[in-house]
């Protein structure tokens, strides 16, 4: 244990140990909900402002490390860099004189990133595929869609409906204005999304003004062509 700490807490392993420890603390806080884990966005603000974030994300993208939370990429790079530096330090650098160890250690610390980048990119491939599957459908794109009530009824406090999205379909939480109810099988229109409660406000299809106007136009057009 003493030898492990001696290698991990001395140059050239020390810089990677610091970054790896910071990443571990960050993900511990993310697991507790104290900080954002970044899986719902394209990156994480590291405190450098929006411009700094784009710079880091752009650099990672050019290296094939894009499409994942920035702190996840940093944690993986630090882990592989630390592993390579630690093993080289343990077996090759410790016997060297201090000046030579510092010179060789600087080169090792930089060169450790060379295998770390492709290894991190390899690990991120399944992560990116998983994130694409979990990516939420943009809520505004669903407004105006027709849904069918699938719960026994929809009220101001409960209910859900199915919406055809061209794929397997979506099951969404929906709500009506106070005092209104609709039974299972009724067709409704998604008119608003309430982000704080993650549900949609809906209206009965035949009572929605826009659709009623559209239906009137269609009926009038059919009458003209008779």
Domains of the chain, by residue range, sit at 2-134, 139-224
Q: 10-19, 32-41, 81-90 — which is least confidently predicted?
A: 32-41
Burial of 172 (C-beta count, 10 Å sphere; 0-12/13-18/19+): buried
**93 burial class (0-12, 13-18, 19+ CB within 10 angstroms)?**
buried
* Per-residue model confidence as pLDDT tens digits over 78-93: 999 999 999 999 999 9
Which segments of 18-134 are extended strands (E)?
A: none
Contact (CB, 8 A) for 175 and 156: yes
CATH number of 139-224: 2.40.50.140
In a 10 Å sphere around its CB, with 0-12 CB exposed, 13-18 middle and 19+ buried, how is residue 64 labelled? middle
Mean pLDDT of 161-183: 88
| One-character DSSP codes across 104-123 | HHHHHHHHTHHHHHHHHHHH
State whether residue 6 is helix, strand or coil. Answer: helix
The residue assigned the tokens 């690990």 is 123
Give the number of other CB atoms < 10 A from CB of residue 20.
20
- Tokens matching residue 30: 């993310």
User: How confident is the model over 43-80, as pLDDT tens digits?
Assistant: 433 333 434 445 666 678 778 887 788 899 999 999 99
Number of residues that this document lists for the chain:
226
**Residue the block writes with tokens 């106007």:** 213
Helices assigned H by DSSP within 149-201: none
């Amino acid at each position: 244990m003493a030898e492990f700490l001696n290698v991990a807490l001395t140059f050239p392993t020390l810089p990677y140990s610091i970054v790896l420890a910071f990443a571990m603390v960050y993900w511990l806080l993310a697991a507790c909900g104290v900080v954002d884990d970044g899986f719902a966005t394209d990156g994480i603000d590291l405190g450098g402002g929006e411009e700094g974030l784009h710079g880091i994300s752009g650099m990672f993208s050019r290296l094939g490390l894009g499409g994942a939370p920035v702190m996840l990429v940093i944690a993986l790079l630090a882990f592989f860099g630390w592993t390579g530096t630690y093993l080289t330090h343990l077996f090759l650098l410790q016997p060297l004189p201090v000046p030579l160890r510092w010179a060789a250690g600087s080169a090792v610390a930089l060169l450790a990133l060379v295998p770390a980048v492709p290894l991190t990119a390899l690990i991120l491939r399944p992560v990116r595929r998983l994130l694409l599957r979990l990516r939420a459908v943009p809520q505004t794109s669903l407004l105006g869609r027709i849904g069918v009530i699938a719960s026994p009824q929809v009220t101001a406090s409960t209910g859900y409906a199915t919406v055809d999205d061209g794929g397997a379909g979506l099951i969404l939480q929906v709500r009506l204005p106070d005092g209104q109810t609709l039974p299972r099988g009724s067709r409704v229109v998604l008119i608003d999304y309430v982000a704080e409660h993650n549900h949609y406000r809906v209206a009965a299809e035949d009572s929605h003004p826009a659709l009623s106007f559209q239906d009137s136009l269609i009926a009038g057009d059919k009458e003209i062509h008779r």
